[in-house]
């Protein structure tokens, strides 16, 4: 869950690499990788944090429009996929629900900074156990726990119906949303922060261990936000664009060995060294991305 991200930050934003966020990894979830990310952040945040003013130019207006279209398309896909997933839960088809869980969440993870900005929909849809009071906990992860910990959909029908309603409410909110020129800038870096803060440690998908689906989706969403900005950045700093291109390519190459058909292997199959390498590759991309705001400053 992405916490306290505010959409439409206007002209002034802080672009920071906050990989790790000092969170403690769950037992057995690759704590060394999480600690490494936190240590890297402590050393680099002071160098890569910059308060910048992102002006409204025709190029940036076009970027926010393009990114907005991407968000709308992904939200539509999320609605369709969630309908299939919750249908499987309501019908009691445990195996189908398990198969659909991670591919459904891909669409959420690609647009998480925007979705998280829209009122209380983020905790309703994506809260993990302990993020909210027990009586308020629902959404994807409540159902995930039942599917993998108890191998059942029993008692999850109402959670599934509420989840579907919340995702449909998200679509309504997104359709009427006007993004600020700064939003793609913030979105690109916030999605990488999500990887380092909650995905590398394995705590996000703690029951299903489908973390690599979420990690890949966060990276894809980050790239989509950057691609909307690329023409504007290219005109100011083509070398930075090339560096970011190279880092995206390196990060995808780091992920590639863990593919399994159209999906990904369980995150528990990665050892501490492999998680650390993935964390370092994320950090390596986050650093040049954090300079995009400076390049585009008014």
Whether the CB-CB separation of 8 and 283 falls below 8 Å is answered with: no
pLDDT band at 102 (very low <50, low <70, confident <90, very high): very high
Per-residue pLDDT of 8-26, as tens digits, reads 333 323 333 333 333 333 3
pLDDT at 177: 86
**Model confidence at 95: pLDDT above 50:** yes
Beta strands per DSSP E along the chain:
12-15, 50-53, 259-260, 263-264
Q: What's the pLDDT tens digit per position in 194-231?
A: 898 779 999 999 999 999 999 999 999 999 999 999 99
Q: Is there a contact between 125 and 140 (Cβ–Cβ < 8 Å)?
A: yes
pLDDT in tens, 169-188: 999 999 988 888 888 988 89
Q: State mean pLDDT over 235-256.
A: 97
Are 75 and 171 within 8 A, CB to CB? yes
Structural domain boundaries in the chain? 12-54+182-293, 70-175
Q: How far is CA 297 from CA 116, 212, 233, in A?
A: 25, 34, 11
Confidence at residue 69, expressed as pLDDT on a 0 to 100 scale: 95
pLDDT at 165: 98
Nearest CA to 201 out of 148, 252, 128 is that of: 128
pLDDT of residue 261: 95
Tokens standing for 230? 């690329």
Q: How many whole angstroms separate alpha carbon 297 and alpha carbon 181?
A: 11
Residue 112 has pLDDT above 80, yes or no: yes
Choice among 49-58, 89-98, 155-164 with the minimum mean pLDDT = 49-58
Of the options 3.40.50.970, 1.20.1420.20, 2.30.40.10, 3.40.718.10, the CATH number for the domain spanning 12-54+182-293: 1.20.1420.20
Average pLDDT over residues 99-109: 98
Better-predicted residue by pLDDT, 249 or 38: 249
Segment 164-171 shows an average pLDDT of 97
Burial of 179 (0-12, 13-18, 19+ CB in 10 A): buried
Per-residue pLDDT band for 33 (boundaries 50, 70, 90) equals: very low
| Cα separation, 47 vs 111, whole angstroms | 27
- Per residue, the 3-state secondary structure of 22-39, as one string, reads CCCCCCCCCHHHHHHHHH
CATH T-level fold of 70-175: A middle domain of Talin 1 (1.20.1420)
């Amino acid at each position: 869950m992405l916490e306290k991200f505010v959409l439409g930050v206007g002209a002034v934003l802080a672009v920071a690499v906050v990989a790790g966020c000092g969170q403690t990894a769950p037992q057995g979830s690759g704590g060394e990788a999480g600690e490494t990310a936190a240590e890297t952040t402590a050393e680099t945040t002071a160098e890569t944090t910059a308060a910048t003013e992102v002006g409204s130019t025709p190029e940036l207006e076009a970027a926010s429009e393009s990114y907005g279209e991407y968000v709308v398309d992904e939200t539509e896909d999320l609605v369709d996929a969630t309908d299939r997933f919750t249908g499987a839960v309501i019908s009691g088809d445990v195996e189908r629900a398990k198969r659909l869980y991670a591919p459904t969440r891909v669409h959420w993870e690609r647009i998480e900074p925007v979705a998280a900005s829209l009122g209380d929909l983020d905790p309703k849809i994506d809260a993990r156990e302990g993020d909210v009071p027990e009586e308020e906990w629902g959404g994807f992860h409540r159902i995930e726990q039942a599917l993998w910990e108890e191998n059942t959909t029993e008692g999850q029908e109402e959670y599934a119906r509420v989840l579907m309603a919340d995702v449909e409410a998200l679509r309504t909110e997104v359709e009427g949303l006007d993004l600020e020129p700064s939003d793609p800038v913030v979105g690109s870096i916030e999605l990488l922060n999500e990887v380092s803060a909650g995905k590398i440690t394995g705590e996000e998908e703690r029951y299903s261990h489908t973390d690599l689906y979420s990690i890949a989706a966060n990276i894809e969403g980050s790239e989509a936000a950057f691609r909307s900005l690329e023409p504007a950045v290219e005109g100011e700093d083509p070398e930075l664009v090339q560096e970011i291109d190279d880092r995206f390519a390196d990060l995808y190459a780091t992920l590639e060995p863990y593919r399994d058909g159209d999906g990904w292997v369980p995150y528990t199959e990665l050892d501490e060294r492999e998680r650390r390498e993935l964390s370092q590759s994320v950090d390596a991309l986050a650093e040049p991305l954090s300079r995009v705001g400076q390049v585009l400053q008014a």
